[in-house]
Structure 1
């Protein structure tokens, strides 16, 4: 059985992948796991540290070939605010509950939860059921294996400084 020995973050130059693995967001934080590829093959991921993988990352096999990590579609709520200020307020309420959230310019995506849906509607948000890939914002103290992904991780955090927040 082939082994995954390293990875290449999405957006970095690489050869085309020979296969892919599709995983939901909560199963993309990995260190050691048997992965079932879309083509039916299996590979053993065996890294020194746990890594939060993102859609488009490439896993490097011991023979040098690449496997693409793809985000699975998940059942989500799409939260539509009235305006930008309302989006910030809704994001604060979700963060206060430590809910994984994908925050975009005009909407927020979260996993479906009827209690949270009621809260958000009570706060004036439009909440729609959608099925999409999900890449929530990383938590401030979340280990991510030393690689950032554009807007998903602050560049100054790639050095893993967990001291006091500085503007």
Structure 2
């Protein structure tokens, strides 16, 4: 089976099928328009999205009256950063920007993928953080940039 479009997302879709299969993806895989995956029931499917959109947690790839196939994002190993002042936020944002590390922001927290060097930097700057496994809503986007 080849999936060429997303039907909807379980968060906003009213119809349900009695049986659900899941495709577990790393957050990095959400940006791939073409990929081959296997459901948690061992069914192999191809994804070749025609429109230029990223997959999201809960996207419905297939549905009929008996079955639906849903995207589930695996948890990422993250540093959850909680600066206590605008000074700390500026310092860590500047440092992470110099490293071209992508970040996401959620409920007053800065999320970055785990990196031991960033963890050492956070300790050095005394910026509150914790390391945890968490699902992210979208892929971390690496922004290409060159210093000439």
TM-score, normalisation: structure 2: 0.74
Q: CA deviation at 1:130?
A: 0.8
RMSD over equivalenced CA pairs, Å:
3.0
Q: 1:133 aligns with which of 113, 128, 135?
A: 135
Corresponding residue for residue 5 of structure 1: 4
Separation (CA, whole Å) in 2 of partners of 1:37 and 1:50: 23
Change (3 A) 1:134 1:88: farther
Separation (CA, whole Å) in 2 of partners of 1:106 and 1:48: 35
Q: CA deviation at 1:113?
A: 0.8
SS in 1 for 2:56: coil
Segments of 4+ moved more than 3 angstroms: 8-12, 63-66, 83-89, 135-139
Change (3 A) 1:89 1:55: farther
Corresponding residue for residue 15 of structure 2: 15
SS in 1 for 2:93: helix
TM-score, normalisation: structure 1: 0.67
SS in 1 for 2:81: strand
Whether 1:60 aligns to 2:62 is yes
Query: Structure with the greater relative contact order (CA < 8 A, sep ≥ 6): 1 or 2?
Result: 2
Separation (CA, whole Å) in 2 of partners of 1:105 and 1:71: 19
Gaps of 5+ in 1: 143-167
**Alpha carbons 1:30, 1:51 under 8 Å: kept:** no
Separation (CA, whole Å) in 1 of partners of 2:75 and 2:140: 19
Q: CA deviation at 1:4?
A: 0.9
- Rg comparison, structure with higher value: 2
Separation (CA, whole Å) in 2 of partners of 1:104 and 1:114: 22
Change (3 A) 1:84 1:42: farther
Gaps of 5+ in 2: none
